[in-house]
Amino acid sequence: MDQSTWPQFNLKPYCFDTEMLQEFLFSLAEKNKNSISNCVSLSGYFKESNVAAFIFEMSEKFELDNEARFLAIEIFDKFMAAHLTEIYQAIKKNKHKDWNSIIKKIKDQIVLRSLTCIQLANKFSNSKNVIKLSSIQDLLIELGYKFSFESILNSELRVLKYLDFRLNILTPYNVVETLLEILGHNLKNSQPKALYIISIRLLESFYFCKEQIYKRLYESFSGKAKDHTERQFKPQTFTNIVVIF
């Protein structure tokens, strides 16, 4: 892991004071509350372990920093959830529409969409690395897909439109980074940098084991086995899209 991209915790004399850190925590809590209130029914389906593994692998090829890696997953999930919800609503109104052809088109474009989300996350995180269109195109060809520069640009615009051009998405990484900053501020003998790498590995493990973690938490608090049919809106065809990588 490139340490030059690590955050500088409690960098004196530029570190935040107690009041500012408290405001950061309140801001994170408010963002989390709004995120939960505004999420659609499919939110969370598109950041399962196979999706996370693919985006992490592609992010490594483009040398993304940690902030961008985790942001790319969240962008992809929000886009796909909004995109498929809209398609589902449209099909409900037009029952004669060819569902199989729509699914095929989504599958053909999903790798492009994931790379688009990586590209957007890299831009938003102010990374020093620039991902060129030619690099995206070359990787797509390597993966067995052919898309023009225009298609790649249109994909970027499409994702941005579905997200209302708002990429300031709260991620678990943001929370961990803030908590480590607070830890270093409150405890003089703490070592946030030493904990940083451990935290990153734990976050990666969370994305790889998210479903199992949620299942155990649910069973622990409810005292009953988790029923996979509990979500109100879960068309089987939609959930199968996640398993195409």
**Tens place of pLDDT for every residue, the chain, 245 residues?**
555 565 665 556 556 677 788 888 888 888 888 888 888 888 888 988 899 999 999 999 999 999 999 999 999 999 999 998 888 888 777 765 677 778 888 889 999 999 999 999 999 987 778 899 999 999 999 999 999 999 999 999 999 999 999 998 999 999 898 888 888 877 777 778 888 989 999 999 999 988 888 788 888 887 777 665 454 434 333 333 333 33
Dmax over CA atoms of the chain, in Å, equals: 66
Residues 245, 144: contact at Cβ < 8 Å? no
Residues 206, 216: contact at Cβ < 8 Å? no
State the pLDDT at residue 183: 85
- Quick one: which of 176, 210, 182 has its CA closest to 196? 176
- Quick one: which of 187, 201, 189 has its CA closest to 66? 201
Q: Which two tokens stand for residue 175?
A: 């929370």
